[in-house]
Structure 1
Amino acid sequence: MRSLKEHKNIFLLKLFSVNSIGVLLRSLLGLVSQKLIAIYLGPNGLALVGNLRNALALFGLGSTVGIDQGVLKYQSQFKNDDVELKKLYATSLAYSIVGSIIVCFILFFWASYWSQFLFKTEQYDYLFVILALTMPFTAVYNLCLAIINGKSNYKKATIVTFSTYTIVTIVIIFTVSFYKISGVLLAITFTPIAQLLTLLFFARNSLLLFTNLKIRFYAFYKNALFAFIIMSCAAVFFSNIVDLQLRNYLINHLSVEEAGYWTSMSGLSNYYLSFMTGVYSLYILPKYAKMNSLKVFLIELKRIYKLILPLFGFMFIILYCFREHLIRLLFSEEFLPMGDLFKWQLLGDIVKIIAVVIAYQFIAQKLWKLFIVTEVISYILLYVLGVYFVEKMGVEGIVFAHFLRYLIYLIIVLLLVSKIFKKHKSIDESTD
């Protein structure tokens, strides 16, 4: 018979493999659209597209108020209790409705402001009016996806997300060749509609869960989900705001082209780091939630690192050695200067993986104050170090700042997590 350790390793490997298939398919589609944008619009266009995608992530977060991780946690905990699940869904939907109304209001009445802020012109204000009307679809989509993942139906989750990416990519292919930058921006704005279509075709049963629900805030879930809302909002808000500010800083102090190189490097980084997304949410989070011993935590940490670090280490070496060929394949000759960004970006990303695997302990234990403090410190470090090193090193300074930021973040997280387990130990000893 297999040992418990072997079963855990097999489950983790299986989850990583299933998640990897979905991420690989989505990444291929994303890279196809990125290649087309690079050919037709160059670094300038990619910088503007990056701004819109950051904004879309922010508004998407606002519409769902970041409850996805909480839904995943309690869906798993009460998977055999229909009464509790209905309360969870009702409260989640209530939060999403409130979030969607606020986001729709902000987008509709300040459409010109967002256009000016993101694109330095008001001519794209219609994009934000469209988003105001369609953003509730994103709220429902994210909620349904969290429920599907919470039921461990990873195959359906992969089909839904892949189908959404396929629709958006097809729209980008048709619009970029005819309408250039306006077409691409409109295609990306089409994302919430694509999300609704995929739910109707592939996940109608998930949508039916919301019928006959008494939409209200149930006290337990209202409070329990609030901690996840705070943590998710902090992470996504600071991430996208700092990205926007740094990109605009590069545009104003260097050039739109340099901003485009960094946007392209960040986009590539997001694609390969997406392979960790399912592992964080579906394996690490539930595991950590049950831990109160440093010894058990370290054993689990070792198991996770033994699987993922060799894989990512090997992948990063290949990416670095063949970076020029990769740039020509994924972008164009015009993007070759971004080859200088690979070294510090890849080093920063490997440190990020090491740190985030540890930091998920904050989310698992709902230590939202510690999580927010560390996130704020992390993004302040990125912005301050980014601005400083851009002055010294040009655009390469921003990826060097990325590496330093995660090195400091790792040290902070190690100290805090060790303190948490020492506190658990002292409490256990006092109750013996």
Structure 2
Amino acid sequence: MDLIKNIFKTNLFKVTSLNSVSVLVRMAGGFLASKMTAEFIGPAGMGLLGNLRNFLTSLDTFSTLGFQNGIIKYTAENSADEEKLYRTLATVFISILFAILLISGLLFFLSAYWDAWVFKTGEYAWVFKVLAFSLPWYTGNLVFMAVLNGLGRYKKVIGITIWGNVTGVLLSALLIWKLGIAGAFLGLILYPALMFLFSFYLLYRTFPRFPFLRWKYFDTTLLKGLCSYSTMALVTAVCSSLVYISLRSKLMVTFSEDEAGFWEGINRISSFYFLFVSTLLTLYFLPKLSQAKNTIETKAVFRAYYKGIIPVFAFGLILVY
């Protein structure tokens, strides 16, 4: 009993509990959106939406240059040193700004190519033109959330995620109801852009007028360190999207669009129950590992993970089964 009480009192358990609420809200919203998609546009629409979702996952990584984990690490490490923190944030923001401008141009002017590769229909080039204009807000939210994670603002990050998911589901439901498959595409694109409003507000309160946005703080040494995170992230993003889009396209050609949609539905369920651990790793453990100053502190972080999270996750998997 004492062990259970001690677990309940830990900061990790409090973060885990809040994260669980966030994940449950996200799961409920995902199920609702998937149900509406299946009802209003059918299983074939699920397949097309899955292709766009995988494309956006890769776009997340390319538009942030694969820096997300690096942003969390360097922000957590330098949070107590204003000069180093400003150098980190300036290097991140300026580098990613150039990436956004380049990728937005490629999305807009090569929209027909992306449509042929992702959807293979020739009907949805406009989706990528809309995405080109929403990319700054889309990517900005990812960067702001990574910075807030690195600063240890767990409750605020979870709060943004919860309210963003609720708003996104309501928006998606309305758009699907009114516009069908076009509405589903727009909902998927615009939802992260809406979350930008929440994350921008919180980051602006932390850094009024963004004093770090000065060229003098740009640090090429830090940029090299951040780039060390890029290779793995970019390779993973490309390979995973290629595999999923190819699988879904193969199902469409070999069987039918409906069968591809059914496969996507099952795949969505699978991804939902991994959200609990994957979000907690980014939200809590990566900043803690970055702040660990020696082997003893690092081992303590790992020990807390294996003792406090893995048993709960295993129990959850049994329930799902």
Q: TM-score, normalised by structure 2?
A: 0.87
State whether residues 277 and 313 of structure 2, in contact with CA within 8 Å, keep that contact through their aligned partners in structure 1: no
State whether residues 160 and 202 of structure 1, in contact with CA within 8 Å, keep that contact through their aligned partners in structure 2: no
Residue 153 of structure 1: how far off its partner (Å) = 1.2
The alignment-based identity, stated in percent, is: 28
Gaps of 5+ in 2: none
Where do residues 317-332 of structure 1 align in structure 2 (5 Å cutoff)? 317-320=318-321
Partner residue, 2:59: 59
- Please say if 1:142 is aligned against 2:142: yes
| CA–CA separation in structure 2 for the residues paired with 1:314 and 1:27 | 18
State whether residues 63 and 138 of structure 1, in contact with CA within 8 Å, keep that contact through their aligned partners in structure 2: no
Residue 145 of structure 1: how far off its partner (Å) = 0.7
Q: Which has the higher relative contact order, 1 or 2, with Cα contacts under 8 A spaced 6 or more apart?
A: 2
State whether residues 89 and 210 of structure 1, in contact with CA within 8 Å, keep that contact through their aligned partners in structure 2: no
Partner residue, 1:188: 188
Gaps of 5+ in 1: 321-432
For residue 104 of structure 1, give the secondary structure of its aligned residue in structure 2.
helix
| CA–CA separation in structure 2 for the residues paired with 1:139 and 1:69 | 14
Residue 178 of structure 1: how far off its partner (Å) = 2.4
Where do residues 31-430 of structure 1 align in structure 2 (5 Å cutoff)? 31-200=31-200, 203-205=203-205, 208=208, 210-211=210-211, 213-215=213-215, 217-286=218-287, 303-320=304-321
Residue 251 of structure 1: how far off its partner (Å) = 1.5
Q: Structure 1's 133 and 299: CA in aligned 2 closer, same or farther, altered over 3 A?
A: closer
Aligned length: 316
| CA–CA separation in structure 2 for the residues paired with 1:237 and 1:39 | 31
Per-residue CA deviations over 1:278-311 (Å, capped at 9, x if unaligned) read: 4322444355565987x99888656533433332
- Please say if 1:30 is aligned against 2:33: no
- Please say if 1:15 is aligned against 2:15: yes
Q: Structure 1's 263 and 209: CA in aligned 2 closer, same or farther, altered over 3 A?
A: farther
Q: What is the letter of the counterpart of residue 66 of structure 1? A: G
Cα RMSD (Å): 2.8
Q: What is the letter of the counterpart of residue 234 of structure 2? A: C
| CA–CA separation in structure 2 for the residues paired with 1:203 and 1:303 | 29
State whether residues 71 and 92 of structure 1, in contact with CA within 8 Å, keep that contact through their aligned partners in structure 2: yes
State whether residues 134 and 192 of structure 1, in contact with CA within 8 Å, keep that contact through their aligned partners in structure 2: no
| CA–CA separation in structure 1 for the residues paired with 2:176 and 2:312 | 35
Moved more, 121-130 or 162-171: 162-171
Q: Structure 1's 275 and 281: CA in aligned 2 closer, same or farther, altered over 3 A?
A: same
State whether residues 44 and 257 of structure 1, in contact with CA within 8 Å, keep that contact through their aligned partners in structure 2: yes
Residue 158 of structure 1: how far off its partner (Å) = 1.6
Residue 72 of structure 1: how far off its partner (Å) = 1.0
Moved more, 166-175 or 80-89: 166-175
| CA–CA separation in structure 2 for the residues paired with 1:207 and 1:106 | 32
Q: What is the letter of the counterpart of residue 250 of structure 1? A: L
Per-residue CA deviations over 1:227-279 (Å, capped at 9, x if unaligned) read: 11222222222222211111112222222222212211221222221111243
Residue 189 of structure 1: how far off its partner (Å) = 2.3
State whether residues 70 and 228 of structure 1, in contact with CA within 8 Å, keep that contact through their aligned partners in structure 2: yes
Residue 83 of structure 1: how far off its partner (Å) = 0.7
Q: Structure 1's 213 and 175: CA in aligned 2 closer, same or farther, altered over 3 A?
A: closer
| CA–CA separation in structure 2 for the residues paired with 1:19 and 1:184 | 26
Per-residue CA deviations over 1:319-355 (Å, capped at 9, x if unaligned) read: 22xxxxxxxxxxxxxxxxxxxxxxxxxxxxxxxxxxx
Q: What is the letter of the counterpart of residue 220 of structure 2? A: A
Q: TM-score, normalised by structure 1?
A: 0.66
- Structure showing greater radius of gyration is 1
Q: Structure 1's 147 and 8: CA in aligned 2 closer, same or farther, altered over 3 A?
A: farther
For residue 168 of structure 1, give the secondary structure of its aligned residue in structure 2.
helix
Residue 225 of structure 1: how far off its partner (Å) = 0.7
Residue 12 of structure 1: how far off its partner (Å) = 2.9
| CA–CA separation in structure 2 for the residues paired with 1:220 and 1:118 | 37
State whether residues 91 and 223 of structure 2, in contact with CA within 8 Å, keep that contact through their aligned partners in structure 1: yes
Residue 81 of structure 1: how far off its partner (Å) = 0.8
State whether residues 12 and 279 of structure 1, in contact with CA within 8 Å, keep that contact through their aligned partners in structure 2: no
State whether residues 160 and 199 of structure 1, in contact with CA within 8 Å, keep that contact through their aligned partners in structure 2: yes
Q: What is the letter of the counterpart of residue 220 of structure 1? A: T
Q: Structure 1's 136 and 261: CA in aligned 2 closer, same or farther, altered over 3 A?
A: same
| CA–CA separation in structure 1 for the residues paired with 2:209 and 2:269 | 36
